[in-house]
Amino acid sequence: MGPRPGGGRVTWERLRAVVSRDAGDLWPPQAAGAGCCTVCRGAAQPGYARCYQCGAHRDGAPGMLADAVVPISYAVKGEGHAARLRLYKTDTPGAAAAGGSLQALMLVFLHDHAPCIWRYAAMPPPTRLAAVPSGQGRPGAQPLLGLLSPSLALRPVTLAVRPGEHLGRELNPRRFRAESPLPGASVLLVDDTWVSGASAQSATVALRAAGACHVAVVVLGRHVDPADPHSQRLCSAFLATSYDPGACAVHTVAALDTYHVA
């Protein structure tokens, strides 16, 4: 199946076992509304459908944003899932194991939920795969693309940081460029961590500027800081639940179809 977390022959049973092992550090995204952003499932102020950042993205790049944003889990600051999301792209001990955990989580999630995501986004199944470049401007390919592309029957798209462009937490339509034209393409854009969403939505703008018609963003971890007063109500809600691999941010029943994995 491509990359082999833990070594040996990879099966869906083995991938699911990895996800089950890590489930104690995973937290289900909450339903949109009542203080939960309809776009990223982060905390929204009472009376607002979107959080401040997602509202600013809509105003800054109307008609160019993702058709859907689907976080797999919250990444709670200081906990295991957030730690793996930082560790996997380093050269430190444990990075490979962290990458294997994240690879399993994404592949199992797509296997179970992708058809629902495409329906939710009103898009055909994607034929291209892209990953959001590092917000720190690290050189080389985004490691998440390397973890996933050998196992997904999707042609990779390279996104590059434009020299001299700002890498902050505000949407920048010129931050990235796609290194090949994408006329009419349907793209799965994967990201490891959503903090403000500026990098993912800036990458979406780059894909659309290259000709993509549809973009769905699937995020391994929606960052949440329990110490942030704006997030405390949201944290109280999801920390009282447990992660269910059969549920996702856009539906609560596992899809009957399966995502095509090479």
Q: What is the mean pLDDT of residues 172-193?
A: 96
Residue in this structure with the two tokens 């989580």, named with its chain if needed: 105
Q: How do residues 59-81 score in pLDDT, each as one tens digit?
A: 999 999 999 999 999 999 999 99
Q: Is the pLDDT of residue 254 over 80?
A: no
Question: What secondary structure letter does DSSP report for 176?
Answer: E
The model's confidence at residue 34, banded by pLDDT at 50, 70 and 90, is: confident
C-alpha dihedral sign at 17, 18, 19, 21: positive
DSSP state letter for 149: G
Its pTM surpasses 0.85: yes
Q: Structurally, what CATH architecture does the domain formed by 51-238 represent? A: 3-Layer(aba) Sandwich (3.40)
Q: Where are the domains of the chain?
A: 51-238
Average pLDDT of 180-195? Answer: 97
From the list 40, 61, 63, 60, the residue with the least C-alpha distance to 50 is 40
Residues 90/204, Cβ–Cβ less than 8 Å: no
| Angle, alpha carbons 22-26-28 (nearest 5°) | 145
pLDDT above 70 covers a percentage of the chain that reads 89
pLDDT surpasses 80 at 220: yes
pLDDT at residue 140 in the model: 60
Cβ distance 132 to 159 under 8 Å? yes
**Percent of the chain surpassing pLDDT 90:** 78
